[in-house]
A and B are shown apart, each in its own frame.
Chain A
Amino acid sequence: MALTAQWAEAWIRECSQVLTEHRTALIELDRAIGDADHGENMQRGFAAVVAKLDAGGQETPGAVFKLTAMTLMSTVGGAAGPLYGTAFLRAATALGDAAEIDPAAVVGFLTAARDGVVARGKAEPGDKTMIDAWTPAVEAADTAQSAGASAVEVLEAAANAAQAGALATEPLIARKGRASYLGERSAGHRDPGAQSSALILQAAADTAGRQQ
């Protein structure tokens, strides 16, 4: 079964719920190497998106992602707002007016999202950022799709790789963002943006799985 606007909306609502549950945990990660507001900002941003979704009117997955993008950009603030906003905006552009998302289109929108984050933030893999979750996620999604996986399986592969990528940021020394000012003192802490990325991709896989 292909993924529809109904799934896209369920995903974003799930993000809001999951980020609310993990608000304190993300704040704690950010307190160690940043400024202790990531959980707060992400919760506020996705709650604002849900409020807009409640008004209805989004008929394609692309439209849901575009609304998500514009709302996150204007409500999250800091670096995460434009980065997640750009990710969802590029995903929306990649999907265009399509009503359904097949496995190849899943890889397509994930890749576009990742490329958007790279273009905006100029981070490379290993810099201890969101990219360290997104890059393995895109690669795993691509591999799964090439092997004939369903849309749900592609999202599950992406989510698992993203979580592994987030964990793998722990020993890294940050080279981008506010954590970079700590230099070697940033090692030993997980990157909050990589962790929130992993949570968001897990929510995508979970909601898709439930719709099967």
Chain B
Amino acid sequence: MKKLINDPQAVVAESVEGFGAAHADLVEVHPDPLFITRRDAPVQGKVGLVSGGGSGHEPLHAGFVGRGMLDAAVPGAVFTSPTPDQIIPATLAVNSGAGVLHIVKNYTGDVLNFETAAEMAQAEGVEVRSVLINDDVAVEDSLYTAGRRGVGGTVLVERIAGAAAERGDSLDGVSGIAQRVNDNVRSMGVALSACTVPHAGVPSFDLTEEEIEIGIGIHGEPGRHKIAMENADGITDRLLEPILADLKATDGDRVLLFVNGMGGTPASELYIVYRRARQVLAERGISVERSLVGNYITALEMQGASISVLKLDDEMVELWDTPVWTPALRWGV
């Protein structure tokens, strides 16, 4: 294992320390218990948005703390949920009295820790709502599993709900739009190589030079199935097909197309995937009105990509376009 680290146990703490120093104009790092808030939190009269999860998905979530997106991010150990003793003070720190929305990716550990924290924060007098992100169509049989996982759609929910909160919407309003974005987004990913968790030291699954894993999550867990390596257009078609089928996307729909890198794939390749996805959508009469391409929700150094498609309405487009100023996403300012 070759990694730019000092001590596998200190990866999260040292990385967040550097992050806080680099973006001191936007964020404040609270080291113990560890969480990150907007520098100007709590913003008076505004609903607070808190998200979090295991580390290793950077820039998610801390990279999205700032104006027009999250008020706080709570990082756990690599690929391990944060604990309630971090989530509770993060929730209290961003509560201005207008309530707090937890944006939670649907993994058992994240769900249980955020639920416990929400209960305890409520006992301290904060109104807390939660929205569960579960956009991963690779999990086929939701009835007999812990359900679909939260992946690329999380970034879109954080941006659009963040814009609604910045606009001054109530807790009900912000929760409602977060839920609406989740209900209208679907994603699927592929791995060309596995990733190595620093304290584990070995790759999280085995892939030969000739194989790829279709339908991966973001924690290096295996996906739907292994297949032989194909070209970019072939892989793109395999990812897009189940998304469009599940979303029932048809002629005349307006969408946001998000091509996300898993950490180890160059931007040039992400644009090759984007190009093909755009062709397929055009053939079906689906209009791509907004786009996002880059490494936004990653799995350490994994080679691979995910595609997310969000069915848009006028309000979502309007909110997407409002100013956002965070370490990892910035426009309109």
Contact = CB atoms under 8 A, between A and B. Distances in A.
Q: Do A and B come from one complex?
A: yes
Nearest to B149: A181
B141 to A, nearest CB: 7
Contacts of A181: 139, 145-146, 217, 221
Given A35-B221, A183-B141, A78 B116 contact: no
Contact of B80 (A78, A86, A177): A78
Contact of A183 (B115, B116, B144): B144
Interface in B150-180: none
A7 B107 CA distance: 36
B131 interface: no
B64 to A, nearest CB: 22
B109 A78 contact: yes
B108 interface: yes
B83 A178 contact: no
B76 interface: yes
A160 interface: no
Interface in B70-88: 76-77, 79-86
A35 B80 CA distance: 10
A121 interface: yes
A115 to B, nearest CB: 15
B200 interface: yes
B112 interface: yes
Given A36-B200, A82-B84, A77 B77 contact: yes
Contacts of B109: 77-79, 81
A62 interface: no
A73 B221 contact: no
A74 B84 contact: yes
Interface string A35-60: 11100010000000000000000000
A85 B116 contact: yes
Contact of B76 (A35, A77, A82, A175): A77
- Dominant secondary structure of chain B at its interface with chain A: loop
A77 to B, nearest CB: 5
B200 to A, nearest CB: 7
A74 B77 contact: no
B107 A178 contact: yes
B80 A77 contact: yes
Interface string A86-129: 10000000000000000000000000000000001100000000
Nearest to A129: B108
A22 interface: no
Given A74-B83, A178-B221, A82 B112 contact: yes
Which interface class (under 10, 10 to 19, 20 to 34, 35 or more) fits B?
Answer: 20 to 34
A35 B33 CA distance: 24
B320 to A, nearest CB: 31
Nearest to A177: B108
Contacts of A86: 116
B113 interface: yes
Nearest to B146: A180
Contacts of B57: none
B81 A120 contact: no
B80 A37 contact: yes
B268 to A, nearest CB: 32
A161 interface: no
A81 B77 CA distance: 13
B145 A180 contact: yes
Contacts of A140: none
B144 A82 contact: no
A35 B113 CA distance: 17
Contacts of A177: 108, 146
B82 A77 contact: yes
Interface of B: 33, 76-77, 79-86, 107-109, 112-113, 115-116, 139, 141, 144-146, 200, 217, 219, 221
7 contacts: A35-B79, A35-B221, A75-B83, A79-B81, A79-B108, A120-B116, A177-B146
